[in-house]
Amino acid sequence: MPAVAPPLPSRNLGRTELRVSTLGFGGAPLGDLYARLDEAQAVATVEAAVAAGVTLIDTSPLYGHGLSEHRIGAALRRVGREGVLLSSKVGRVAEPFAGRGDGSGYLGGLPHGMRFDYSYDGTMRSLEQSALRLGTDQIDIVLIHDVDIWTHGADAIEDRFSEAMAGAYRALDKLRAAGTVKAIGVGVNEAEMCERFAHAGDFDTMLLAGRYSLLEQPAIASFMPLARKKDIGLMLGGVFNSGILATGPVTGAKYNYKPAPPEILARVAAIEMTCRRYAVPLRRAALQFPLGHPAVSSIVMGAVAPAEVADQLAELAAPVPLELWSALKAEGLLGADVPVPE
């Protein structure tokens, strides 16, 4: 019989009373991001995660223009909500009869348009739409989504940030005070924007993608110390940096959603070589490394099949010798002061 994985450890989500599994489930791929998924398999993947002890499920209206939320809602109606914390996002409002348009980035998904709206009323409408798609009356964690230069460009970011703080933040702060939601935060791809929001408002959590990984840790210089000071619980996405830390420096390896440049390929090759000396797969080291930082509550991983969930759980549970982290530091592949798993 296959070995039974040990129970998933959990951590507090910052200063809140919420406990989240150190492995969270990320719903972006369930929106048909890279491929059109079989509906039954998509639902079974969420069910497998919950059955394995994953207690944090994160999604967004963006993911498949609502399809990810539909599929997650279907799965939770089958297995129940007990012990599961749902996280979704605001900042986009669905327009069902407007057509998809171009540039969504999703291969499939629902045929509904999405428009940016960080206003107070837009936030309330976005959250109501998410609750309907999920088929729930409780969304525990709500994040202001994609207020970053990556999404809006340098010329528009000031207006978007001001709109988000005057509208979305005010709405979410009111919902939190009323007990309608349990935690509020932001979800972005840039540590600088996380830091800016942390200074501007009273946030419980932040979901940061790609900026704290085994490959690179730009968030550690300023934002992560601030998160510790303010006791903001971090959820980390993109710990494989769009794939290269899972595949290794192979031909066509992706970094930040594009083919990896030569310098990134070379650095990953050096990290992988050190991992091999200690008989540790690169993806195992990449999964476990971010949890060494005390500000990190959970790493949020996407999956499109139950076997992927099982693989993530196995890699998180497998041993990694402390000597590996020391070797990576000695070789200049990790900073001397970067915290590592113990």
Q: Is 267 helix (H, G, I), strand (E, B) or coil?
A: helix
Q: Which of 280, 296, 294 is nearest to 328 (CA)?
A: 280
Per residue in 157-196, pLDDT tens? 999 999 999 999 999 999 999 999 999 999 999 999 999 9
pLDDT of 232 higher than 90: yes
Q: Which of 185, 107, 106 is nearest to 144 (CA)?
A: 185
User: Per the domain annotation, does 340 fall within a domain?
Assistant: no
User: How far is it, in rounded angstroms, from Cα 201 to Cα 139?
Assistant: 21
- Output the pLDDT for position 102: 61
User: How far is it, in rounded angstroms, from Cα 209 to Cα 201?
Assistant: 20
- Output the pLDDT for position 76: 97
pLDDT of 4 higher than 50: no
**Which residues make Cβ contacts (< 8 Å) with residue 194, sequence separation at least 6?**
186, 188, 206, 208, 219, 223, 227
User: Per the domain annotation, does 51 fall within a domain?
Assistant: yes
User: Per the domain annotation, does 8 fall within a domain?
Assistant: no
pLDDT of 321 higher than 90: yes
Q: Which domain holds residue 311?
A: 19-247+290-320
**Of the candidate ranges 4-13, 174-183, 201-210, 264-273, the one whose mean pLDDT is the lowest:** 4-13
* Averaged pLDDT score across all residues of the chain: 95
DSSP one-letter code for 321: -
- Output the pLDDT for position 101: 73
Tally the domains of the chain.
1
Mean pLDDT of 291-298: 98
User: How far is it, in rounded angstroms, from Cα 1 to Cα 3?
Assistant: 6
Mean pLDDT of 198-222: 97
- Output the pLDDT for position 6: 57
- Output the pLDDT for position 2: 36
pLDDT of 3 higher than 70: no
pTM for the whole structure: 0.95
User: Per the domain annotation, does 221 fall within a domain?
Assistant: yes
Mean pLDDT of 289-310: 97
User: How far is it, in rounded angstroms, from Cα 104 to Cα 33?
Assistant: 9
Catalytic residues: 58, 63, 89
Per residue in 89-128, pLDDT tens? 999 999 999 888 766 788 899 999 999 999 999 999 999 9
User: Per the domain annotation, does 124 fall within a domain?
Assistant: yes
pLDDT of 1 higher than 70: no
| CB distance 21 to 55 below 8 Å | yes
| CB distance 255 to 311 below 8 Å | no
User: Per the domain annotation, does 333 fall within a domain?
Assistant: no
222 falls in which pLDDT band (50, 70, 90)? very high
Q: How far is CA 175 from CA 131, 160, 180, 182, 185, in A?
A: 14, 21, 5, 9, 12
Mean pLDDT of 22-29: 97
Phi and psi for 38 in degrees, rounded to 5?
Answer: -65, 130
User: Per the domain annotation, does 285 fall within a domain?
Assistant: no
pLDDT of 273 higher than 70: yes
- CATH label of the domain that carries residue 44: 3.20.20.100
304: left (phi over 0), alpha (psi -120 to 50) or beta: alpha
Q: Which of 14, 129, 15, 119 is nearest to 62 (CA)?
A: 129
User: Per the domain annotation, does 6 fall within a domain?
Assistant: no
- Output the pLDDT for position 98: 86
